Amino acid sequence: MRLVVCFLSLLTVFGPAECGNVLVWFSDGSHWINLKIVLETLIDRGHNVTVLVPDASLFMKAKESDRFSYQPFNASVDEQEMRDFIEELVYFSVYETDQLNLLQFLMKFYNLASIIQDMCTSYCDGILKSSKLMDKLRNGKFDIVLSDPMYPCSDILAEELNVPLVYTFRLSIANVLERMCGQIPAPPSFVPGVMSKLTDKMSFTERIMNMLFYLSQDFFATIAWRKFDNYYTEYLKESPTVHPIMKPLSLLIYSRHEDMEEFVQSSGDDGIVVFTLGSLVEKMLKETINKIASALAQIPQKVLWRYNGEKPDTLGENTRTYKWIPQNDLLGHPKTRAFITHGGTNSIYEAIYHGVPMVGIPLFADQPDNLVHMKAKGAAVVIDNIKTMEPQDLVDGLNTIINDPSYKENTMRLSRIHHDRPIKPLDEAVFWIEFVMRNKGAKHLRVEAHNLTWYQYHCLDVFAFLIAILTVVLYAFFKMCKFFIIRCCFRKSKKE
């Protein structure tokens, strides 16, 4: 893969922009939720935004009210297929990982990874191999391609259209993409690989685990990306390299609901607990749901639970379920005492923003990792395994973060630091996107690392040369010493 910009986040306030044309590569789920807000701002600033959208998508629904244009494309993935896959992925992560033996686990993991790859290939084909669509895009006079590197091939599109590319990016497993960026340092000694569930304070054993995690994921990434090598050989003549732009986002705006406010106010001094498990998880085993509901029934707080399934048998008087809740508004409510969360990035940022302590029930992806870090900062209690969780664990967790004042203090400290920045993250993202449009790319920010081989990057050729020189010198020295000693002894013995 190849691209144009690679830098750490920088911040800004800035003047009016020249109107440009922005092309957005397909993305889905929380990735799309975040990207959409950046696109809205680009439109506010006078740019035209066109979004590539496949026939089937979970979140990317073309609405008349949307202000950006959609450019549909055909992909051989239907919506049910995607829902089934996500359910399988969640079930695998939550219920299966510790039941399977290593071989079964690896096979299942490989199987799921293959499905993702097939889907991605289908999207790549849908765009790159449709000559009609490609011609239309070529005539679209785009100034920039925006994409999330989770979804491959946007770099090829940018290359084909001959326009700069900007990635919006949350993370990659074991920082594989971030490290390829070259500019982002990740010494395995103190940078825990993303999704390793480690923090920056690691014991010797943990550092070994971290190193193995990096090495194995590097290996896995090499295997996984082999599937896309065809594309790169076909479209690009150069060997593929990667360097993404980092862009953390944290703000979502929702509207208020009156009946909800009434329920929140009825909680009195005990306050409320907000409970969601993210945008992708719709269904869970009935047993798990009942355990959760019975735990919630035991606390004095009122609970607002975003839950879409059948009503649990053990649901308490104090708990109400909603198909959707204005999570960010509720977290900002003065009566909110705690937040039960799966630990998705947006949820974590919203909890930090409002300074609400968390009980974490991580499911998959970066969620366990995010919550480990919140726990290390003293802002969360984490329930490691939703499958083996007992109701009392959840009750204890909630009581701890609500009654031990250190959790509130720590979360408020994080909140203060989070707010104490020179400029809003959204403005920051938009500034750098426009920067790339204005300057027709940002080649001056590319690190020279991309033009080095792996052994050059790690200075192995230099070390080999220096060690060779040293060896020759030492060898010559040793030979000389030997020569003189023998000669000396030889003369001596001759004399004798």
Which stretches of the chain bind its own copies, using CB under 8 A?
8-14, 182-185, 187-190, 200-201, 204, 207-208, 211-212, 416-417, 420-423, 427-428, 431, 435, 438-439, 444, 447-449, 451-452, 456-459, 461-463, 465-466
In this complex, which beta carbon is closest to its own copies, that of residue 377 or of residue 387?
377
Shortest distance, position 48 Cβ to its own copies, whole Å: 22
Nearer to its own copies, 164 or 182 (CB): 182
Q: Which residues contact 332 (CB under 8 A, 6 or more apart)?
A: 353, 354
Residue 17 CB, nearest approach to its own copies (Å): 12
- State which residue, 199 or 290, has the beta carbon closest to its own copies: 199
Distance CA 342, CA 321 (A): 16
Q: What stretches of 217-357 adopt beta strand conformation (E)? A: 272-276, 302-306, 319-322, 336-341
How many Cβ atoms are within 10 Å of 88's Cβ, its own excluded? 15
Closer CB to its own copies, 401 or 430, in the complex? 430
**Shortest distance (Å) from residue 247 CB to its own copies:** 14
**Cα 374 from Cα 199, distance rounded (Å):** 10
Nearer to its own copies, 190 or 254 (CB): 190
Residue with Cβ nearer its own copies (54 or 182): 182
Nearer to its own copies, 468 or 474 (CB): 468
**Nearest-approach distance from CB 42 to its own copies, in angstroms:** 16
CA distance 169 to 38: 13
The CB-of-310 to its own copies minimum distance in angstroms stands at 44
Cα 68 to chain centroid distance, Å, stands at 25
CA dihedral over 39, 43, 49, 51, signed as positive or negative? positive
Min CB(423)–its own copies separation in Å: 6
- In the complex, least distance from residue 381 CB atom to its own copies, rounded to whole angstroms: 21
Q: How far is the CB of 129 from its own copies (least distance, A)?
A: 36
| Cβ atoms of residues 58 and 84 within 8 Å | no
Identify which of residues 282 and 409 has a Cβ nearer to its own copies in the complex. 409
Q: Are strands 358-360 and 165-167 parallel, antiparallel or unpaired?
A: unpaired
CB of 293 to its own copies, least distance (A): 37
242: helix, strand or coil: coil
- Using DSSP's 3-state secondary structure scheme, residue 436 falls into helix
Work out the angle between the directed axes of helices 367-376 and 345-354 (0-180°, nearest 10). 30
Cβ proximity to its own copies, 335 vs 424, nearer residue: 424
Q: Are 69 and 49 in contact (CB under 8 A)?
A: yes
- Nearest residue to 94 via CA among 279, 429, 306, 342: 342
For 170-301, list the strands marked E by DSSP.
Answer: 272-276
Q: Residue 282 and residue 229: Cα distance in Å, rounded?
A: 35
Residue 177 vs residues 115, 200, 226, 449: alpha-carbon distances, Å: 21, 19, 15, 14
Of 25 and 432, the one with the shorter C-beta distance to its own copies is 432
CB of 201 to its own copies, least distance (A): 6
CB closer to its own copies out of 221 and 449? 449
User: Among 103, 97, 249, which Cα is nearest to 168's?
Assistant: 249
Smallest gap from residue 110 Cβ to its own copies (A): 24
Looking up tokens 């289908």, which residue turns up?
122
- Using CA atoms, how far apart are residues 330 and 336, in angstroms rounded to an integer? 7
Task: Considering only CA atoms, give the Rg of the chain.
Answer: 27
